Amino acid sequence: FLTGISDLFRSGYESASKHFNPADVEVDVAGRSFLITGANSGIGKATAKEIARRGGTVHLVCRNKDRAEIAKQEIVTETGNQNIFLHIVDISNPKEIWKFAEKFRNEHKLNVLINNAGCMVNSREITEDGLEKNFATNTLGTYILTTALLPLLEKEADARVITVSSGGMLVQKLSVSDLQSENGTFDGTMVYAQNKRQQVVLTEQWAKAHRNIHFSVMHPGWADTPAVRSSMPDFYEKMKNSLRTEAQGADTVVWLAVSAEATKLPSGLFFQDRQPVPTHLPLARTHSPLEDEEKLMEVLEEFSQKFRSTSSG
């Protein structure tokens, strides 16, 4: 898209960045509160560092306590910002997300939510709640955390929600009939791409429903992150010399989170390298009927409420 797949590698970032305005992200965000999921490595950690450098209060939401403690210490040490808080939450566990969100709402304010946590599990794995792991993390987890925190975001001026998706979603048309990948052969890469398509649809739907919050979804390009190394080892070996750095992958997330320019553009768009880009390839037939998109929202809401009642009860 843009001009093609090569744009997604480091060279693509380098040529796109020639047109960036550095002043866009030279902002002081002291007093503003940012929550980042999957913040102990990769793009999440790179984003957290950049926001911490600009004075923001950063809430790191991570699954692994030990790795998260190390990441937090690194962010504090490198940026000198002490307002870095840690929350241990498994985004594939809906009850845990509800419990966390309800507590967070009572104790903190929130200006910007960054849904970055994701997983690509290459075989069909079922969580303790009977959910397929990729769907539970990438789609349902993102849905529950966002909807549970909307009341907090609604209270703030210039509230934003940014979801880290992937260009992989361009090969997938929204499919609401088999959200848990129960039918046919399981292909982790395609399931992940489907989840990333679902995130684009969520963003577009939320943008319509919540006019005073700015929603966006983005593709970081192909970056050298622990997640890419572990879930796509063959791709990594072949491409490692041309991958983006974590900071380059995080650049558009930071721009969407802090710049005044980002919110001049309409809510609900898909971004790559600080530019809105199409969510469908020409002739790809990946457009879905509106009723499918509404159905996705309904099904996720049902799941969400099912797990909510058990968490607060």
- Where are the strands (E) in the chain, listed by range? 33-37, 57-62, 84-88, 112-115, 159-164, 213-218, 269-272, 275-276
Name the residue type at position 192.
Answer: Y
DSSP notation for 79-126: H----EEEEE--TT-HHHHHHHHHHHHHH---SEEEE------SS--B
- Euclidean distance between the first and the last CA atom of the chain, given in angstroms as a whole number: 47
| Torsion, Cα of 100, 101, 103, 104 (10° steps) | 110
- Plot region of 184 (φ>0 → left; ψ -120 to 50 → alpha; else → beta): left
Q: Partners of 214 in the beta sheet?
A: 160
Given the residues 13, 143, 192, 236, the one annotated as active site: 192
**Alpha carbon distance 269, 165 (integer Å):** 12
- Plot region of 123 (φ>0 → left; ψ -120 to 50 → alpha; else → beta): beta
What are the angstrom distances between the C-alpha of 23 and each of 62, 84, 255?
Answer: 31, 25, 10
Name the residue type at position 63.
Answer: R
Active site residue 192: yes
Residues known to be catalytic: 192
